[in-house]
Amino acid sequence: MIDFSLTLEQRILQTKARDFAQREIIPIVQIIEEFNNPQIEPWDFCQNVFYKGAELGFTSLLVPKEYGGLGRKCVDLVLILEELGAADTSIACSYFNLTAAMSLFVTRAGTNEQQKRILSHLRAGQPQLYSAAESEPNVATSDLFCPLPDAKIGIKTFAQRDGDAYILNGQKSSLVTNVGIADAYFIIARTDLDKPLRESMSIFYVPADTPGLKFGKRTEMIGWKTSHHAPIHLDNVRVPAENLLGQEGEAAKLLMLLPEVAIGLAASYVGLARAAYEYALDYAKKRVSWGRPIIEHQAVALKLADMMINTQAARLTVWEAANTADTDPQLAAMVKAPAAKTFAVDVAIKNAQTAVEILGGYGVTKESQAGKFLADACIGYSCDFTREVLRLGLVSCL
């Protein structure tokens, strides 16, 4: 028997996240969207939101209690992220999901010493914002899914062993999230340029103040106006060997065992799909044509029904993926997480597009939120791998 009902604890968590999103996120998003000025630094507005959410445990939710986390499950995370994503997908994904997932990564991939040291801020009640840098300019990030054993394919940032340290040199792409504002970076570099990418990537924990790390100008995007993305230049960045997570060449394997990143993104996009549906529903009840609210015209009503049905289907796919992450992380990583992320983003894009249609001319004005939904939804297509490579990766596991 399958029970989809939430426990009392989960309903409390969900309500807490919903209240937080209404009270803390929505007013900030309105300010940033209203200014719509590339000179505005979103982090100036969002950092309070991040620290308040971190205090509620949204970034340490999955970390075991002995390291200062809440020791909760991925199913709990997706409940929170749907609520945050309904208010603003980029705040949900960039600040909360990424930091929550990388904190969990330290507990999965780190030694006891690394877990204690890197996560010590949690016990001290001083949340840290994380960034994970893999993609590079002039290299297709999809190369990570390349099955060819050609060592020339893939990222070029190199980590050279030097006594008790590694020296990192290279560049990371202008899309990397939280670059320039994060407290610490998880940087992926090759430790052997003669081996294929998947066998030669290693992952290093690098505090933001490490000499040689240089951050570029913030990248303007069509949506996700509340987040900060920028390039990194690594110029002889000396990283102690004890900051290598896992063994040399293990990054691909370790990251594959972190389905929570994609599942968290998917949950945030269910939030966006729901918000677009509720927004269009509200409009359709108020807008009158031919003497009655447009929801009473079947052409509009059927669109709204599809939006609701698709949102519910995406939510269940995400819940199932989250449940699998808690019980069978490998199956979740290989199949369920990419499926959930692809489907949830598709539904979000479709719902946002339908919201634009239901709002008629107003759908394309800055006055309405439909355009923001659409722009934010489209960003989900390529954020954390494109729908094509995710599906190709998934098929290779079937």
> Looking at 137-145, 275-283, 313-321, 337-345, which segment touches ligand FAD (CB under 6 A)?
137-145
CA distance 21 to 23: 6
CB-based contacts of 36: which residues, under 8 Å, 6+ apart?
225, 366
Q: Closer to ligand FAD at the Cβ: 11 or 214?
A: 214
Which member of 92, 132, 167, 262 binds ligand FAD (CB under 6 A)?
132
135 exposure class (CB count in 10 Å sphere: 0-12, 13-18, 19+): buried
x/- contact string, 317-346, with ligand FAD (CB under 6 A)? ------------------------------
* Cβ(359)–Cβ(368) below 8 Å: yes
206-245 positions binding ligand FAD, by CB under 6 A: 224, 229
Residue 186 or 279: the one with the smaller Cβ distance to ligand FAD is: 186
User: Shortest gap between Cβ of 219 and ligand FAD (angstroms)?
Assistant: 9
Q: Distance (Å, rounded) from C-alpha 47 to C-alpha 14? A: 22
CA distances 252 to 61, 104, 190, 390, Å, are 24, 16, 11, 15
Q: Which of 230, 272, 384, 393 binds ligand FAD (CB under 6 A)?
A: 384
Q: Kindly give the pairing relationship between strand 130-133 and strand 184-190.
A: parallel
Selected binder of ligand FAD within 76, 88, 134, 260 (CB under 6 A): 134
One residue of 141, 202, 210, 311 binding ligand FAD per CB under 6 A? 141
Only segment of 102-110, 231-239, 263-271, 386-394 that touches ligand FAD (CB under 6 A): 386-394
Question: Which residue has 């992952």 as its token pair?
Answer: 203
Pick left, alpha or beta for residue 196 (phi over 0 → left; psi -120 to 50 → alpha; otherwise beta): beta
Q: Is 46 in the site for ligand FAD (CB under 6 A)?
A: no
**Closer residue to ligand FAD in complex, CB, 75/197:** 197
The answer to whether 392 contacts ligand FAD (rule: CB under 6 A) is yes
Nearest CB to ligand FAD, comparing residues 140 and 257: 140
Residue (76 or 136) nearer to ligand FAD, CB: 136
- Given candidates 74, 266, 378, 389, which one binds ligand FAD under the rule CB under 6 A? 389
Q: From the CB of 390, what's the least distance to ligand FAD, in Å?
A: 9
Phi, psi for residue 216 in degrees, rounded to 5? -90, -175
Of 177, 243, 324, 354, the one binding ligand FAD by CB under 6 A: 177
Q: Would you state the structure tokens that stand for residue 290, as one six-digit string? A: 């031919």
Contact 352, 370 (CB under 8 A): yes
Question: Which residue, 119 or 201, has its beta carbon nearer to ligand FAD?
Answer: 201
Q: State the DSSP code for 293.
A: E
Residue 169 binding ligand FAD, by CB under 6 A: no
- The Cα–Cα gap between 354 and 370 comes to 9
Q: Which is nearer to ligand FAD, 318 or 389 (CB)?
A: 389
Is residue 131 within 8 Å of 187, Cβ to Cβ?
Answer: no
Candidate residues 46, 133, 230, 314; the one interacting with ligand FAD per rule CB under 6 A: 133
Q: Does 189 bind ligand FAD (CB under 6 A)?
A: no
Closest CA to 343 of 398, 395, 265, 276: 265
DSSP class of residue 138? T
How many CB atoms lie under 10 A from the CB of residue 160? 13
In angstroms, rounded to a whole number, what is the distance separating the alpha carbons of residues 243 and 246?
A: 9
The residue type of 371 is G
Is 386 a binding residue for ligand FAD by CB under 6 A? The answer is: yes
Question: Interface residues for ligand FAD in 362-381 (CB under 6 A)?
Answer: 379
Of 9, 388, 396, 397, which one interacts with ligand FAD (CB under 6 A)? 388
Distance spanning both ends of the chain, measured CA to CA: 26
Instruction: Indicate whether 199 belongs to the interface with ligand FAD (CB under 6 A).
Output: no
**Smallest separation (angstroms) from ligand FAD to the CB of 339:** 16
CB of 153 to ligand FAD, least distance (A): 11
Please name which of 131, 99, 81, 87 lies closest in space to residue 321, comparing C-alpha atoms.
81
Residue 159 as a binder of ligand FAD (CB under 6 A): the answer is no
- The residues binding ligand FAD (CB under 6 A) are 132-135, 140-142, 175-177, 224, 229, 379, 382-386, 388-389, 392
